[in-house]
Amino acid sequence: MGGRCAFGDHVISHPHLPSTCVTQCSASSSCDIVSSLTPAGKEAIEQIRGYPFSSFYIMATGQIFSRNTQALFYNYKQLPIQRMLDFDFLCGRETPSVAGIINPGSEGFQKLFFGQEEIAIPVHSMIEAACAAHPTADVFINFASFRSAAASSMSALMQPTIRVVAIIAEGVPESDTKQLIAFARANNKVLIGPATVGGIQAGAFKIGDTAGTIDNIIQCRLYRPGSVGFVSKSGGMSNELYNTIARVTDGIYEGIAIGGDVFPGSTLSDHVLRFNNIPQGAKSGGELESAQAKNQALKEAGAVVPTSYEAFETAIKETFEKLVEEGKIAPVSEVKPPQIPEDLKSAIKSGKVRAPTHIISTISDDRGEEPCYAGVPMSTIIQHGYGVGDVISLLWFKRSLPRYCTQFIEICIMLCADHGPCVSGAHNTIVTARAGKDLVSSLVSGLLTIGPRFGGAIDDAARYFKDACDKGLTPYEFVEGMKKKGIRVPGIGHRIKSRDNRDKRVQLLQQYAHTHFPSVKYMEYAVQVETYTLSKANNLVLNVDGAIGSLFLDLLAGSGMFSKQEIDEIVEIGYLNGLFVLARSIGLIGISSDGTTGNAMDAAERVGREAERGGCPSVQVLPIDHFDVSCLPDEEIVIFVVSTTGQGDIPDSMKVFWRFLLQRNLSNQWLEGLHYAVFGLGDSGYQKYNLFGVYKHLSYS
């Protein structure tokens, strides 16, 4: 196979290495090549290698990669693996070239792309396990650091299924490299590197980052096999010459970068001899020292050595054309490679695609210099002194409501923030906090109790009041109609409040609305319904849910900023209940972080239940800070349940009550006629355990 060409550190074939010289060699034995080489061939190899032919090692002959070659990739690196898979797709391979990934300490699967299809590549923690799981994978690509590359490479070489090992790391200790080379030669295996980018067989298989990007691979026509073999120390020089060879010939058949370390695992002549045994007639390339003596030796051996780098491309072209003319090479027909799908992120960045979003937000935007709420920049919100109500109007209703509307929202939040520890939401929050759960868990536990009977009736109240008022139903028709359907009127009724003990929160909301709202049609209708229900029972008063629900209808309708359809949608979505959820979250967070344990509350509720079972009428269980101490003489029977905190300290919730009792101007007869009992709770592990309960009892006595 005459007509080889060489320049400097790079060689393109040699006249004294005919293909017949290696046809007698097999993958397991290379001794026959010694006898088949001509004296000129042996002399040429000695000149190239620099030591006697008798010590020359012959690598396994023929090509080492094919379209069916699969590899195990050591030390997971996403980019080089994806580049290998993209090359596979470009070449039209049916199976990915990466059979498995070895990542010490990890097991499972790694998702990557094979064309447009997302595939899962197995991940193994041990080399032995990976080789056992993938017996057809005979190439080991080692991306380990120089510290661990030798040990992992030796482990791979010892596996019977591994035939080729490529070491990417540079700086592997020379003593370790020599051991790897000796083991590979003794076991007839191929070692590429250290300090290599790997190798490529055009249209079949490539190692890691060999040949660079997909664009460079397409430009160099590496997606299909050419007729030229190439070997170099440098990966960067390889990329340059792949391009050069593609311009003046039909392209690369196989290219190898043996690495730049002092002791490469395989050498120029190893691959020169191997290339000449490839049936496709690939020409070979290699590595020489740059000394003029070596170039002269090549000339004398019959190689074509250009006089300068500028003449190198011309020499390659002339040699290729001569071989084609002599019929020794049949030029490869050009094929059109498939389009490699581009990653969405890079395609969007380059403006090549428009991708629909999976999640859309119409209330806020953080893509500019500053976040915006419903189109209003954050700086404007701060500069104009917007409050929480204004922010809610932007994020919930997507518009800036008048100030009287946003102030009403803030009043609702303030009035509904907390209602003591005895309601179901507070009780759940306390119990969860006492169980040692975190703040979020305690808060959620309380919020989950919100429903038709606890704070969740605002939407229903608005819905039913609006429907009845718009239809012109009288309070009698509305209430009796709900009764026939078996539905309680939402927004009406309270466990404690009554005709004579109205909810102050409802009164405050009504006063604000009368002063600021242009119309209170729905609130007036709710009051008419209350008048009718009070004729049936003393506690069927308009509660805070009904007040907020009816007044919010007046806010939406009276502001002139919402259509009838929008008002219906707001009520249906549940924004009004959202007000209670938002408000009560403030109180539940405070309750969760409150230092008291809730023992007194639990005990008081138990006493209350026992009293009701015993036939006591009108039993009320109240936190002591919710009881008007000045009304104490008006009560007939009172049971106090007191917990001490710290070292017998008074609970915070009781301090106002206790200071009132200690006033000197109270007469000795002030509590005459009051029947009372004191339950003192405490931890006997403390020195002043239950001190306050005892002291209080003695004081009353």
Tens-place pLDDT, residues 528-574? 999 999 999 999 999 999 999 999 999 999 999 999 889 988 888 87
The dihedral formed by the CA atoms of 297, 298, 304 and 306, expressed in degrees to the nearest 10: -60
Token couple for 123: 């991940």
Tell me, yes or no, if the two domains 71-282 and 598-693 fold the same way.
yes
Residue 122: CB atoms within 10 Å: 17
Phi, psi of 354 (to 5 degrees): -120, 115
pLDDT computed for residue 686 by the predictor: 56
Confidence check: pLDDT of 245 > 70? yes
Q: Which of 357-366, 507-516, 591-600, 617-626 has the lowest mean pLDDT?
A: 591-600
pLDDT computed for residue 3 by the predictor: 39
pLDDT computed for residue 386 by the predictor: 93
Look at residues 653, 590, 611, 627 and name the one whose alpha carbon lies nearest to residue 425.
Answer: 590
Q: Report whether 75 contacts 144 (CB < 8 A).
A: yes
Q: Which of 82-86, 105-109, 295-299, 327-331 has the lowest mean pLDDT?
A: 295-299
pLDDT computed for residue 168 by the predictor: 96
Q: Which of 219-228, 323-332, 362-371, 595-604 has the lowest mean pLDDT?
A: 595-604
Q: What is the pLDDT of residues 418-428, one digit of tens each?
A: 877 778 888 88
DSSP letter (8 states) at residue 376: E
Q: What is the pLDDT of residues 579-621, one digit of tens each?
A: 889 999 999 998 887 655 567 777 888 888 888 888 887 888 8
Confidence check: pLDDT of 433 > 70? yes
Confidence check: pLDDT of 221 > 60? yes
Check the CA dihedral 623-629-635-636 and report its sign: positive
Token couple for 165: 């090992």
Q: Report whether 22 contacts 33 (CB < 8 A).
A: yes
Amino acid at 191: L
Residue 111: CB atoms within 10 Å: 8
- Average pLDDT score, the chain: 82
Token couple for 377: 């920049």
DSSP letter (8 states) at residue 641: E
- 310: Cβ–Cβ under 8 A, 6 or more apart, which residues? none
For the 598-693 domain, the top CATH level (class) is alpha beta
Confidence check: pLDDT of 45 > 60? no
What distance in Å separates the CA atoms of residue 79 and residue 47, rounded to the nearest whole number? 41
What mean pLDDT is predicted for residues 230-238? Answer: 87
Q: ∠ CA 183-41-264 to the nearest 5 degrees?
A: 30
To the question of domain 71-282 being in CATH 2.40.128.110, the answer is: no
What distance in Å separates the CA atoms of residue 555 and residue 277, rounded to the nearest whole number? 90
Task: Give the fold, CATH level 3, of 424-593.
Answer: Cytochrome p450-Terp; domain 2 (1.10.230)
Confidence check: pLDDT of 25 > 90? no
Token couple for 276: 């000449």
- 576: Cβ–Cβ under 8 A, 6 or more apart, which residues? 458, 459, 462, 548, 549, 552, 570
Domain ranges of the chain: 71-282, 424-593, 598-693
Confidence check: pLDDT of 126 > 90? yes
pLDDT computed for residue 294 by the predictor: 67
Confidence check: pLDDT of 11 > 50? no
Q: ∠ CA 605-611-615 to the nearest 5 degrees?
A: 145
